[in-house]
Structure 1
Amino acid sequence: MVTDQTMSQAINGISSMATRNVLADLVKRYARHSQQRVLIESVGGVEAARRVEDGELFDMVVLAADAIDRLAVAGRIVPGSRADVARSGVAIAVAAGATQPWIGNEAAVRDAVLAARSIGYSTGPSGSHLSRLFERWGIAGTVAPRIVQAPPGVPVGSLIANGDVELGFQQLSELIHLPGIDVIGPLPADIQVSTVFSAAVCTTSERVGDAQALIAFLASPEASAVKLAHGMEPIERYTF
């Protein structure tokens, strides 16, 4: 039976910015059918991982899978509580109404980068991938003066909309609903990278069962439509 006490004791979570919007919608749905309050703070992924590793009190965490792996090694994740919940690829965007370069293959993306007055990417997994691509293409030194790296927690799309970046790269889930930009499309398949986002119960949690029930919902088929609407692909399986 759901009581007023249950409603007052919110599940407390932290996530990276990449999953902020999809989690906001999903926890609203979860609250409607479970009558369970959920509060999730979304910050830069590096900061979120650091805070969990430092032992800050959270019931659950949602981060890129490699960050969850590191937290598990550090003993900050309840064994057996982890589930992969979604994946997202990298997309390319320009300011709304701006000329859109063709990005149909790897060479075209390289040409678009070389032609851009400024290039933006994040401090997260997508930014690391772009940095490696520039090195492989032999253009890292050429474009270095034109790179604008978004500070942790700041969407690349906001830099594009403000005119600080001409060509931006980030997870589709972080670009898809931002005003002032046009998403050209995803990176071509041969240079695409897909980041898996996982959820897990933190060892600081005093509500392990409630947090695990929320994670089960996030990983369930019931959540798939919301993920797709936010530019993410469902992963409907646990990874115990």
Structure 2
Amino acid sequence: MQSKFHFPRYLTAAILAIALSPGNASAERIDVMNSGGFSAAYKALAPGFEQASGDTLNTAWGPSMGAAPEAIPNRLQRGEPADVVIMVGYALDDLIRQGKVSADSRQNLADSRIGMVVKAGAAKPDISTMDGLRQALLNAKSIAYSDSASGVYIESKLFKLLGIEEQVKSKARMIQKIPVASLVAKGEYELGFQQVSELLPVSGVDFAGRIPEQAQSITTFAAGIPSNALHPEAGRKLIRYLASPAAHEAIRDSGLDSLPSSP
């Protein structure tokens, strides 16, 4: 089964040039650390940026938080090079407070909401209401959610909000590193919850929808420049592009919500 959507070439070099800063004298290698929720939009937009700017993006992937060696804060702690970090906004704020990211470089890029998938061909519960979501969770034999911001919210708050924490705790699991939808596709879990932008690209599952707005935890993805970046101006150029109106279509197609662009 193919991915649920395909990324066309969204932007011509002329449109991209609007988002790029003037006077780019020489091409740079921009080292980027990017977390999963923004990855689909980033992958769609990166080739056009490279073509228009002449810069090369060297990207490392990892979660915004947690104990995994790949987590962005842990990569920075080890001294891995980065000119731009793209991650959950509140985790980026922690790095700013620690002096690891320049405060004046912070830029919101997109909002992310939580959705649910089932194995391809399986019945899709109606989770458009609070009662529907509650019943789907109670009826499910197994439930999986990620170890990122969405999963932390589900485990610590959503089950309590729905009043079913005790009923589901024995069949609900937090999944580390592996995309939740990939395990649902294999039949290892009946329901899978993660940020929509991380569910949509996975084959072998059907998207059941977003959880109700009353139950949502909206995660904002943001970008910033590490304090020791080797190419900070090139990094700022990339951030301006990702935050520009020219990037909004790719952001929305990835399952994220685009944000009003800064003046």
Instruction: Compute the RMSD of aligned alpha carbons.
Output: 1.7
The residue aligned with 2:164 is: 139
Higher normalized strand content (fraction of residues) = 1
1:25 aligned to which of 2, 24, 44: 44
**SS in structure 2 at match of 1:237:** coil
What amino acid sits opposite 2:176 in the alignment? Answer: P
Shift of 1:2: 6.7
Question: What is the CA deviation profile of residues 38-94 of structure 1, one whole-angstrom value per residue up to 9, with x for unaligned ones?
Answer: 112112222112222444321110001000100000001123111001111111110
| 8 Å Cα contact 2:128/2:210 also seen in 1 | no
Structure 2, unpaired ranges of 5+: 1-22, 66-70
1:44 aligned to which of 42, 50, 63: 63
Establish whether residue 203 from structure 1 lines up as the match of residue 222 from structure 2: no
**SS in structure 1 at match of 2:101:** coil
| 8 Å Cα contact 2:128/2:209 also seen in 1 | no
**SS in structure 2 at match of 1:193:** coil
Distance 1:188 1:168 in 2: 15
Compute the TM-score of the two structures, normalised by the length of structure 1.
0.92
Structure 1, unpaired ranges of 5+: none
Distance 1:200 1:163 in 2: 38
Establish whether residue 11 from structure 1 lines up as the match of residue 11 from structure 2: no
| 8 Å Cα contact 2:130/2:162 also seen in 1 | no
Percent of aligned pairs with the same residue?
A: 29
Return structure 1 stretches of 4+ with deviation > 4 angstroms.
none
The residue aligned with 1:179 is: 203
Moved more, 110-119 or 123-132: 123-132
Q: Size of the alignment, in residue pairs?
A: 235
The residue aligned with 2:175 is: 150
| 8 Å Cα contact 1:55/1:204 also seen in 2 | no
| 8 Å Cα contact 2:145/2:174 also seen in 1 | yes
Establish whether residue 98 from structure 1 lines up as the match of residue 122 from structure 2: yes
